[in-house]
Amino acid sequence: MSVYDLLQERGFLKQLSHEEEIKELLEKGKITFYIGFDPTADSLHVGHFIALMLMAHMQRAGHRPICLLGGGTGMVGDPSGKDEMRKMLTPEFINHNIACFKKQMSRFIDFSDNKAIMVNNADWLLNLNYVDLLREVGVHFSVNRMLTAECFKKRLEKGLSFFEFNYMIMQAYDFLTLNREYDCIMQLGGDDQWSNMLAGVELIRRKEHKPAYCMTCKLLTTSEGVKMGKTVGGALWLDPEKTTPYDFYQYWRNVNDADVENCLALLTFLPMEEVRRLGSLEGSEINKAKVVLAYEVTKLIHGEEEALKAKTAAEALFGDGSNMEDVPTINVESSSIGTKIIDILASNGVFASKSEGRRLVAQGGLYLDDTKISDVEAELTADLFNADKSILIRKGKKKYYRLILA
C-alpha cells in the first residue's frame, strides 16, 4: 500500500492541488515536503498533533520532511480563521517558543542522518529587501484573486490590515525558497491553510516553471463538526507543564463514542483492522476502545511511563482499584487550615482563577470526596481529611485531584 492510499484509508486527506499527479508521485518516487508551524505559543497543541502524525506517516514511507518554524511569519501572524488581528509577538517570545517546538517535534520526527530538516524562515524573510520582493514575487499575485481567498473573506467585513494581507505572500515565498534550496516540491498542512498553500504552488509553477503540489489534511473535529482539543482551561497542550499527562489521557478517555474510530485512525499508528474493530464496539464495550485510544495517544506524546501512570490513576478512580499514587496531588501545609477551599485550589492551578472556582461551585460541579461544595466561602478544616491525611477533589464530572496534608 502506498502512503497515499494509507493516508486516504486513515482519513487524513481533504484537498489536493493535482490529485492524479500527487497519487502517482507518492506511489513511485520519494519526495521532500514541508509543513509550517508558526510559534505563537510555547507549546504545540492538539491542532499541531494531526499535522505531525501526517508528517510521521510520510517519513515512514521514505519521504523527507522539512519542519518549517515560522520565526519570520510569526512576526506578522496568519489571519486565516481569525476575527481580528493577532497580537504582535516579540522576537524574544518567538525564539523561546521555537526552542520549545524543536524539543517536542523530535518525539515524532527522526532528524538523524538528514532524514528530516528543521529550518526557520526568519533566516530569509527578515533580511528581504522590500522592493526586490515586490519585483520578484509581488508581480505574480493578483489582488483581485487574493481577495476571494477563504482566509481573507471573513476578515473583509470587519477589516483586514495591509500588515496581515502580506502573510499569504510570505508563506508562498517560503515554499519558493525551500524549493530552490532543498528541492521541496510539496506543502502539507491543515485545511484552513488551503489558500495560502495554493499561492505557493502557483508561484513556483509560474516563476520556476517546475511542478509543485500541496495537500491538506482534515482538521480534528467531532462527528458534529466541532473542533477538538479545547478544554475548560483552554487548549489541549502537548507540553506536560501546561496539560498534565493525566489530564491529557482523560481528555481522550472521555471523547464521544462516535469519535473514537476517527481519533484512533488519525492519532495512533494502530493497524486499520484494529482501529475498525475497536470503533465497532457498542454499548459499554466502547469504553475499552477509549482506554486504548487514551493510552496510545498519551504514549506518543509523553512516553510509555507517563501513559501507564495516567492509565493506572484513571483505573484507580473509575475502576475498583485503590492505587491513588498517580492521581495529580496538591500538598498543603497545616497553616492552610482555615483558608477558603477555592483559594487553595486556585493557587494550585485547579482553576484558572478564583472566579472560575466560584462559578463551578454555583453550578454544583465541585466535590470533596462525594460531598458537593455549595458554599463559595467554605474553608479547609482538619476534619475533612481522611485517615491517610488526604481528600479526593472532583472538578466537574471526571477531573480528580488529591489534596494531601503535609
356 torsion bin: left (phi>0), alpha (psi -120 to 50), beta (else) = alpha
> Measured between alpha carbons, how far is 276 from 264 in angstroms, rounded to an integer?
9
Domains of the chain by start residue, with CATH: 3-217 (3.40.50.620), 230-318 (1.10.240.10), 329-405 (3.10.290.10)
Please state, in angstroms and as integers, the Cα–Cα distance from residue 5 to each residue in 23, 54, 164, 279, 282, following that order.
8, 13, 37, 20, 28
Which residues are identified as catalytic? Answer: 40, 45, 48, 82, 86, 171, 192, 227, 230-231
Residues 386-397 pLDDT 10s: 656 778 888 887
Task: Please tell me the pTM assigned to this model.
Answer: 0.77
Q: Look at 249 and 146; give whichever has higher pLDDT.
A: 249
Q: Give mean pLDDT, residues 283-311.
A: 94
Residue 266 has pLDDT above 90, yes or no: yes
- Residue 391 has phi, psi (to 5 degrees) of -130, 140
Distance CA 6, CA 184 (A): 22
Q: Would you state the pLDDT for residue 292?
A: 96
* pLDDT of res. 29: 87
Tell me the CA distances in angstroms from 271 to 53, 293, 316, one per residue in order: 14, 13, 29
CB 395 within 8 A of CB 366: yes
Interval 217-226: pLDDT, tens: 998 888 878 7
β-bridge partners, 235: 230
How remote is the C-alpha of 252 from its chain's centroid? 13
Task: Tell me how far the alpha carbon of residue 160 is from its chain's centroid.
Answer: 26
SS3 assignment, position 223: coil
